[in-house]
Amino acid sequence: MSFQVFGLPVSRGVAIGRAVLVASSRIDVAHYFIDEADAEQEIERLRAARDAVSDELSTLQRDLPADAPPELSALLDVHMMLLRDDALIVATKQWVRERHYNAEWALSAQLEVLARQFDEMEDDYLRERKADLEQVVERLLRAMGRGPSTSYAPAPGVSPRDFAGEDPLVLVANDIAPADMLQFKRSVFTGFVTDVGGKTSHTAIVARSMDIPAVVGAREASHLIRQDDWVVIDGDSGVVVVDPSPIVLEEYRFRQRQSGLERDRLSRLRHTPAVTLDGERVELQANIELPVDAPAALEAGAVGVGLFRSEFLFMNRGGELPGEEEQFEAYRDAVEAMKGLPVTIRTVDIGADKPLDRLSVHELRHEYTMNPALGLRAIRWSLSEPNMFRQQLRAILRAAALGKVRLLIPMVAHLGEVRQVLDALARAKQQLHEAGKPHGDVEVGAMIEVPAAALMLPTLLKHFDFVSIGTNDLIQYTLAIDRADEAVSHLYDPWHPAVLSLIARAIADARSAGKHVGVCGEMAGDPAFTDLLLAMGLRSFSMHPSRIASIKQRILRADTRLLFPHLDEVLSSDDPEAASERLFNRKQQQAAE
């Protein structure tokens, strides 16, 4: 039976495929694809785990005290029966052989299938046996976790697309951490759905970096959708259609084809300079997470990297932070890949919805605070870990010897922090000089993402070479909205007059001081805001590479002489979104004529 699930659209387009469920578990489960040649090795791991658990259960049964209640022995019998049931083990082997899942993922997938069967049983006693099955599976997962294979990374040289089968796949989960999203970034999945999340959570941002349709905040999606269900993800409207009828399916396939044609048309603009009708040159740069994203930025026509999110080098590493040499190699690769174009590297922005596997003493305390978005994150965390921070600064300075590198400091709010950052940078330079290691100079910029920084920008500009406005966090902190919480996501409003006023003020202050100013938040890649930001005087946008062409098209059709006179009217309106649509679109039509 066909039904719909509604959520928040976070990455545009339409995806159609069979559902792959990543079930939530009390045990962390590695999800990765294996090479076909390694299938028997994974099955052997599963067999070894089953033998180990069987021995554990047999030992427990043998060592039961004489006065133990008979129900306990019966329970162990049930667990042993489930452990030997072909519906669990044989079917799990099929997931390994046919889908090339690693053993843990295959076992979790089969648990999801069997759990639904138990839920549908009418007999109360049988339905309650689902808990026993879950306990057996957790024993198996723990047994496999004691083995040598615990990596979350795909097997070296493995391309999941080579053995995914003919049907496209979509990912369905309760939530996907940003670091885990990177594991799927170039994998077989054509779209994804999560129960939780907001439009500008970092999970959503990474989804857009994958340039595939996605819907988050779909509440019960992972409980309503079954393994292998046909699913349509409408990333434009936030609708997920499960088991669509043939007519609905054909309609969405038509939309897929139309979307592909539109992308091909826009791709022809990638080497066209971004210049408005009245001759204003606009800088379109790219946001990237890892060095391997840089070639896509060049291919999209970016004139530099406006935001390298260095924290993704720190995630999903089993508790080990990258050292100076590893970071230098990553920054070097990005700088070299951009072929002389500038690269802006943001120092690690850890905290809130981007936690590390490894927690310091400070973070352990912070982890249990009521709101981690207001705790030890971004530059606050870096300054609390001086050795780590100096390592990162040294790596960035060394990369600056190979090309133009800018250093961006996230979540600046206090002059005391500014002084500490500049002192740390000076010490890092001195250390490199004493070690005889080549290094270059960097422009230092502040990320404006808290209201305090926007309001005191003229003072901050005395210490910085440039500023970059992070609209995602600026909206969050201005409106007191946790952008990752779907319960309040409807209040997250980039059109809020207070937000627009802060952005306009920051742009004006930077331009007045003769300092470069850009926007690197999600608003930069949203065509609905392009005209407004141009009217504010913005001439530097940074966004995901996939958004560059559509923003460039908007810029090529804009005339800032017609936009600027209406800026005050839009900013003073009770409904800036409607005013922007009415005033700017009318002027754009006049310019086009």
Domain boundaries, the chain: 3-23+154-264, 36-145, 282-592
**282-592 — its CATH code?**
3.20.20.60
Residue 266 burial class via C-beta count within 10 angstroms: exposed 0-12, middle 13-18, buried 19 and up: middle
Structure tokens at 518: 């850009």
* Domain covering 36-145 assigned CATH 1.10.730.10 in the classification: no
Instruction: Tell me if 483 is assigned to a ligand binding site.
Output: yes
Comparing 206 with 352, the larger pLDDT belongs to: 206
Instruction: Tell me if 309 is assigned to a ligand binding site.
Output: yes
Q: Which among 415, 7, 561 is positioned nearest to 240, based on CA atoms?
A: 7
Q: Which residues of 388-405 are buried (b: 16+ CB within 10 A; e: fewer)?
A: bbbbbbbbbbbbbebbbb
| Cα atoms in the 13 Å half-sphere on the side-chain side of 236 | 7
Residues catalogued as catalytic: 202, 520
Instruction: Tell me if 449 is assigned to a ligand binding site.
Output: yes
**3-23+154-264 — its CATH code?**
3.50.30.10
Instruction: Report the pLDDT value the prediction gives residue 314, as an integer from 0 to 100.
Output: 84
DSSP, res 461: T
Vertex 308 angle, CA 305 and 309, to 5°: 155
Strand extents, DSSP E, 311-353: 343-346
Instruction: Tell me if 138 is assigned to a ligand binding site.
Output: no
Instruction: Report the pLDDT value the prediction gives residue 365, as an integer from 0 to 100.
Output: 38
pLDDT (mean) for 46-63: 86
CA of residue 370 relative to chain centroid, distance? 23
Instruction: Tell me if 346 is assigned to a ligand binding site.
Output: yes
Digit-coded pLDDT (tens) for 458-516: 999 999 999 999 999 999 999 998 876 767 777 889 999 999 999 999 999 999 999 99
Instruction: Report the pLDDT value the prediction gives residue 165, as an integer from 0 to 100.
Output: 52
Average pLDDT of every residue of the chain? 84
| Distance, CA of 325 to CA of 311 (rounded, Å) | 16
Instruction: Report the pLDDT value the prediction gives residue 112, as an integer from 0 to 100.
Output: 80
User: Which residues, at least 6 apart from 329, have a Cβ–Cβ distance to it below 8 Å?
Assistant: none
User: Which residues, at least 6 apart from 538, have a Cβ–Cβ distance to it below 8 Å?
Assistant: 507, 517, 518, 519
Digit-coded pLDDT (tens) for 107-155: 888 888 887 787 777 765 566 567 678 778 888 887 887 543 333 333 3
Across 200-209, 264-273, 478-487, 560-569, least confident range: 200-209
Instruction: Report the pLDDT value the prediction gives residue 67, as an integer from 0 to 100.
Output: 60
Tally of CB atoms within 10 A around 129? 16
| Distance, CA of 185 to CA of 527 (rounded, Å) | 25
Instruction: Report the pLDDT value the prediction gives residue 57, as an integer from 0 to 100.
Output: 84
Across 29-38, 66-75, 171-180, 412-421, least confident range: 66-75
